[in-house]
Structure 1
Amino acid sequence: MTTRAVVAGCGHYLPEKVVENAEFEATLDTTDEWIRARSGIERRHFAAEGQTTSNMAARAARAALADAGWEATDLDALIVATSTADLTFPSAATMVQAEIGMTKGFAFDVQAVCAGFVYALANANALIASGQARKVLVIGAETFSRIMDWSDRSTCVLFGDGAGALLLEAQEGAGTSDDRGILGTDLNSDGRHRDILYVDGGVSTQSTGHLRMKGREVFRHAVEKLAETAEATLEKAGVTADDIDWVVPHQANIRIIQGTAKKLGLGMDRVVVTVQDHGNTSAASIPLALSVGRENGQIKQGDLIVTEAIGGGLAWGAVLLRW
């Protein structure tokens, strides 16, 4: 028998403020058509004034707990993937822990930018497989609207805010690819490419900074590395792309999503796409897409799903799971 980290519930939260592409036309040399053609994005959500990453994360957490029928006191561990925590410290995770009433166990943040949720899932899987935790809440949450340069049309139109959450529970499986739960993970990073996607500020530089990106370079690395990490994860689990029911990718850009699917030999009818409605929500994008995909009736119990993401660092990786 093999201990698996099995999905027990999911949920998400999106801020009330919806920003359509056309709203940028008043302040930027851009159009709705230009944004759609280059990114596939039509709209995104922005956090309200005073609304924080931990607040959105807690809302997604409550939705996931309600979906599973769990109480916060059932949890052993809580992981928040974010690059936009409320404060330098304490972690956003401990803030969520307090807000939802989780009174035991431990909580911590993972920072791997857009790959953060994949890294967090891999960590949660390791905690469960090693016996350190049996019930783990994994959240991706971001307020990227707070680090945008609103004069840079190449970046500020791409990002949005939101949060998604997944509950994982230890269950015994047969040790085969037919088991429910996380079946394989693959994590990578290469700091030599840090200058193609980064924020030009931080605590030790005493500034918040703004997101900076070399779009063409990011695109080139993304398609190649996302396909490679997905294939590596499938190989570890002993399955092929033909076995996959759904790809749930990081929702950065429709062209990256399409390019990766093509490299994997999969049609877009097997890809969950939410980028048109959410924009790039960094670490929140995969859990948001999982929750929306399940809500829309796309993802069903027993489906074999591969998730993959790449972000600043560069950091990238993939997780294979059976829902």
Structure 2
Amino acid sequence: MRVLRTTSILALLTSTAFGTAASAQEEVNLYSSRHYDTDERLYSDFTEATGITINRIEGNADELIARMQAEGANSPADILLTVDTSRLERAKDAGVLQSIDSDVLEARIPASLQDDDNQWFGFSQRARIIFYDKTRVENPPLDYLSLADPQYEGMICHRSSTNEYTQTLLSAVIENHGEEAAREWAQGMVNNFARDPQGGDTDQLRGLVSGECDISISNTYYFSRALRSDVEGLTEEDRANIGWIFPAQNAEGAHMNLSGGGVAANAPNRDNAIRFLEYLSSEQAQKYFSAGNDEYPAVPGVGLSPSVAALGMFRPDDVDLSAVAENVPTAQRIFNEVGWK
């Protein structure tokens, strides 16, 4: 990481992210795998503040990365936004991102939430925590490694090994506990599955409601969303029967999944792209991530929405996510070895 020059953060945000409005002809081309209607407010406010028009192409992260590779030097992409550290690192390895210098991002985004080469930065987080049925589980696991305990045999629902959240979680276990402990954990998880891995995070919560499993792992924003509405198909009674644990509070802390982005390697509007990323680190934008999509802000000290705050305070794992991303190939090998489908 670069050493931050002594500069007023407020001044930087004002002059860089919310500076003099650009001409109406200025634009920035955004390739995004975030598909949340609530992000519309982020885009419209940025355009209103700067005059820079945002042109969007949305799609699957891997497809967008492949598209940027195929477009090469002629790619119109200025920014790639995606979910999870593994995908951000995949984009870096594919050569579709570039290093940037930004005092604003260095000041606002914690070092553990940005790439060592400044090619990507995290802007919001989701805690990946343990959920359980309070009517059937008296002694829920208090950390990730305990999920592999034989006492939970046949009780756990989880996503497949091809899912990026699953890959990043095992990668973090490797970083925090070593490869041998990670392999033992993965094998224990396979032994304790109530069903073959399947579905998304919401399906893991629904597995608790249906009785198909007693314990599951999910990102917090799915459950926070359910606390404020019936959008996840969970009734008030269902929600009342679901308990949650922020794991490893006496050890490494709760694992965090990251949503972030970087400037495209061949960005035709590079300066505008950097301004947009700096805007995403502003307090205004950070509050949108929490209020609009029930995520945790990446910038420390930004207030949480009521549905997120309702889950309670916890200590997150502050492991370097750039190091975690490098463990993904090892994690995939372990999945194959233990038969995690």
TM-score (norm 2): 0.26
Higher relative helix content: 2
TM-score (norm 1): 0.27
Higher relative strand content: 1
Which has the larger Rg?
2
